[in-house]
């Protein structure tokens, strides 16, 4: 295979994490960049019915990259979160209410539909002079390769074209071929759940308050969008999710109205609904053998507490920071790989464990776990300091945020 194109960095995957990583690297480093993946169309874009609640550090990152101006037109603030125990049984936990005001903020996060997010990011990438986009159906071969003193990774696309790079960034989602090529050890598991994601309109105001119903089939979360719009993430067993998603719009609206205890009044319309399988994945390293992983290529968690993409953006900001000490990529990358690994392992491990435990505490009927959850929520309601600490944790606002996530 004769390589026909060489770039310093190749990014595989054009999901939100791959696109934001490409833009961040183009702005903050001098490396040549190529991104690989099928260029999204309006059809593929419409399939992503999710919205993303961007927490404050992620919003600072979007601001620092000059992306916020275009995105803000589509965003809605989340000023409070109410958790309602709807598991039934004797051990009902109290409602919990978290307000951004308690942290001296107007909002925790801004919620943006993924289709608007992706369209904006793609436009930015296409207009960027330093990013080359290889529009391929798929990268089919990734080969770690040593040639004399010079290290490369080889890439081949489904169309049969060959490329090389010094550093490969795997932003290719949960099935990541980059991860497989890297030799990084991976643990994967299933929750036997699917999440229905869609947007809808409702009659009563949502007051910028997100509602999370904790149900024994998993959480059901309502997340405010503009005016009387909101998005839904409804976790159910795969079988039940298929039944619910197959209902016609009126029947689905009624079911949602009943299940959410009429909290925002009658549901007047429901947009396209898509089911997402819920699973978990973690890796024992974030980079090895000239391949660095970001986003769902490195961690998959259930959609609770709006953490997944926010974690992915932290990967991206830490990766850019870890590269700042590197003069050239055409040399040993062990130092970069260690820095990047160190900056991500603990954060991702802690969050994966916490979300896994919270999800399991809903799904399992194991009484001691239910008692612990109820006691924990009682404690949270009574203790403002603990509540504030948890809110800071949820936002991902730690003292050692990478520079790209710090407010300028
Ligand atoms: C219902 C739901 C709601 C969510 N809500 C939130 C939220 O509010 N906040 C939040 O932070 N997170 C949320 N998440 C998580 C978030 O959506 C994911 O973390 C995020 O989409 C992952 O982005 P990614 O770019 O890493 O992966 P993906 O979006 O999966 O992108 C991977 C890309 O790689 C491409 N690819 C794969 N293989 C190849 C190949 N061989 N060659 C070329 N390209 C390839 C694919 O085409 C794809 O475009 C939610 C998740 C779900 C399921």
* pTM attached to this predicted model: 0.93
Ligand 1 atom 14 nearest Cα: 308
Give residue 1's pLDDT: 39
Ligand 1 atom 52 nearest Cα: 303
Ligand 1 atom 51 nearest Cα: 303
Spans of all domains in the chain: 6-53+115-188+280-363
Taking the C-alpha atoms of residue 76 and residue 230, their distance in angstroms, rounded to an integer, is: 9
| Run of H or E residues at 380 | helix 367-382
Q: How far is the CA of 230 from the centre of ligand 1 (A)?
A: 20
Class of domain 6-53+115-188+280-363: alpha beta
Residue with tokens 């997100």: 210
Give residue 129's pLDDT: 92
Q: What token pair was written down for 346?
A: 């603990």
Closest CA to 82 of 339, 380, 352: 380
Give residue 370's pLDDT: 66
Q: Which residues of the chain have pLDDT under 70?
A: 1-4, 89-91, 145-150, 363-370, 372, 397-399
Q: How far is the CA of 170 from the centre of ligand 1 (A)?
A: 12
Ligand 1 binding pocket, CB closer than 6 Å: 12-18, 36-37, 50, 52-53, 138-139, 171-173, 177, 195, 197, 233, 276, 295-296, 303, 306-310, 312
Say how many C-beta atoms besides its own lie within 10 A of residue 73's C-beta.
10
Alpha helix segments (H runs only) across 205-333: 238-245, 249-259, 308-323
Give residue 2's pLDDT: 45
Ligand 1 atom 4 nearest Cα: 303
Taking the C-alpha atoms of residue 46 and residue 90, their distance in angstroms, rounded to an integer, is: 42
Taking the C-alpha atoms of residue 311 and residue 76, their distance in angstroms, rounded to an integer, is: 20
């Amino acid at each position: 295979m004769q390589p026909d194109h060489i770039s310093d960095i190749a990014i595989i995957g054009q999901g939100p994490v791959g696109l934001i990583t490409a833009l961040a690297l183009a702005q903050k480093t001098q490396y040549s960049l190529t991104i690989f993946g099928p260029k999204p169309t309006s059809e593929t874009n419409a399939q992503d019915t999710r919205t993303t609640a961007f927490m404050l550090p992620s919003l600072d990152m979007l601001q620092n990259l000059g992306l916020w101006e275009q995105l803000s037109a589509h965003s809605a603030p989340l000023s409070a979160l109410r958790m309602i125990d709807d598991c039934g049984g004797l051990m009902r936990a109290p409602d919990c209410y978290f307000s951004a005001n308690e942290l001296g903020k107007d909002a925790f996060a801004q919620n943006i539909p993924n289709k608007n997010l992706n369209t904006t990011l793609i436009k930015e990438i296409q207009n960027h002079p330093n990013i080359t986009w290889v529009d391929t159906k798929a990268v089919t071969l990734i080969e770690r390769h040593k040639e004399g003193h010079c290290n490369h990774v080889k890439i081949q696309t489904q169309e049969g074209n060959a490329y090389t790079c010094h550093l490969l960034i795997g932003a290719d989602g949960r099935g990541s071929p980059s991860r497989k090529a890297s030799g990084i050890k991976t643990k994967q598991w299933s929750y036997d759940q699917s999440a229905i994601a869609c947007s809808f309109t409702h009659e009563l105001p949502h007051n910028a308050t997100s509602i999370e119903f904790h149900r024994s089939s998993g959480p059901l979360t309502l997340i405010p969008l503009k005016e009387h719009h909101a998005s839904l993430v409804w976790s159910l067993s795969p079988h039940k999710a298929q039944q619910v998603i197959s209902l016609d719009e009126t029947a689905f609206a009624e079911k949602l109205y009943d299940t959410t205890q009429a909290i925002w009044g009658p549901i007047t319309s429901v947009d396209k609904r898509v089911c997402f399988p819920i699973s978990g994945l973690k890796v024992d390293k974030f980079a090895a053998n000239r391949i660095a992983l970001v986003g769902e290529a490195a961690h998959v968690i259930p959609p609770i507490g709006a953490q997944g993409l926010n974690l992915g953006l932290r990967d991206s900001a830490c990766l850019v920071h870890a590269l700042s000490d590197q003069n050239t990529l055409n040399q040993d990358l062990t130092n970069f790989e260690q820095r990047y690994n160190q900056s991500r392992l603990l954060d991702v491990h802690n969050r994966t464990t916490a979300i896994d435990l919270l999800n399991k505490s809903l799904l399992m009927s194991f009484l001691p776990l239910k008692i612990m959850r109820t006691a924990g929520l009682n404690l949270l309601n009574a203790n403002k300091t603990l509540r504030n600490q948890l809110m800071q944790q949820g936002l991902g606002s730690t003292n050692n945020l990478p520079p790209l996530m710090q407010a300028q």
